[in-house]
Amino acid sequence: MTLIQLLLSSPLIGSTPNVSVLKRFSPAEIRETIQSLVATEQIDLAYALGDAGLSIYPDSEDMLAISGLLAVMRQDWDDSVELLGKLIEIQGDNVQPFTYVMMVRALRCNVDPARALKVARQGLAIYPNQAELLAEKLALDEFDQSSLF
């Protein structure tokens, strides 16, 4: 039985399964289930499953990525910065452009434009033609220039 089937067939539909049940599933399976829940607008269950999955697999790239995105959806900027920052740290030289973009946006929303600009530059050093990172950097450069006055 898949995790989504388990969640939807549970007598307590909408409740998060206990940790012992979740441990049977890989971080990738939990991430995929969360994506399905978000796609079907079962957001509260997706958040609960994300929190539970992260508690079981705190260093999993899958769990950090999806939990970071869930934090962005909740507009929990502190949490999103923390989770995406940990993901960037774990991935090292393998950080995806989308992760950089989301981190820059989370930092901007968390009112840390200097760090956002640093992360945008870091991403552009690896992905120099990434359009969203270029746009973020340009916006941050304008903010940086306007803050001088």
pLDDT of 4: 83
- Asked whether residue 84 falls in the same domain as residue 149, the answer is yes
**One-letter identity of residue 28:** A
pLDDT at residue 148 greater than cutoff 50: no
- The pLDDT tens digits for 91-108 are 998 999 999 999 999 999
- Asked whether residue 121 falls in the same domain as residue 137, the answer is yes
Mean pLDDT of 103-121: 96
- Asked whether residue 30 falls in the same domain as residue 83, the answer is no
**One-letter identity of residue 71:** A
- Compute the mean pLDDT over every residue in the chain, rounded to the nearest whole number: 90
- Asked whether residue 3 falls in the same domain as residue 70, the answer is yes
96: containing domain: 77-149
Residue 15 sits at φ, ψ, to 5 deg, of -95, 155
pLDDT of 133: 96
- Asked whether residue 14 falls in the same domain as residue 52, the answer is yes
- Asked whether residue 62 falls in the same domain as residue 126, the answer is no
pLDDT of 91: 96
Looking at the structure of the chain, the number of domains it has is 2
In 1-149 the beta strands, taken as DSSP E runs, fall at none
Cα-to-chain-centroid distance, residue 96: 12
- Give which of 75, 73, 95, 74 is closest to 85, Cα–Cα: 95
pLDDT at residue 81 greater than cutoff 70: yes
- Asked whether residue 91 falls in the same domain as residue 66, the answer is no
- Asked whether residue 90 falls in the same domain as residue 66, the answer is no
- Asked whether residue 41 falls in the same domain as residue 18, the answer is yes
pLDDT of 73: 95
- Asked whether residue 63 falls in the same domain as residue 121, the answer is no
- Asked whether residue 2 falls in the same domain as residue 66, the answer is yes
- The pLDDT tens digits for 130-144 are 999 999 999 998 876
Query: Residue 131's domain is classified under what CATH number?
Result: 1.25.40
pLDDT at residue 67 greater than cutoff 80: yes
Q: Please identify, among 51, 74, 97, the residue that sits at the C-terminal boundary of a domain.
A: 74
3-state secondary structure of 142: helix
pLDDT at residue 149 greater than cutoff 50: no
- The pLDDT tens digits for 4-40 are 877 777 655 556 667 788 899 999 999 999 999 999 9
Give the CA count within 13 Å in the CB-facing half-sphere of 140: 23
pLDDT of 40: 94
pLDDT at residue 147 greater than cutoff 60: no
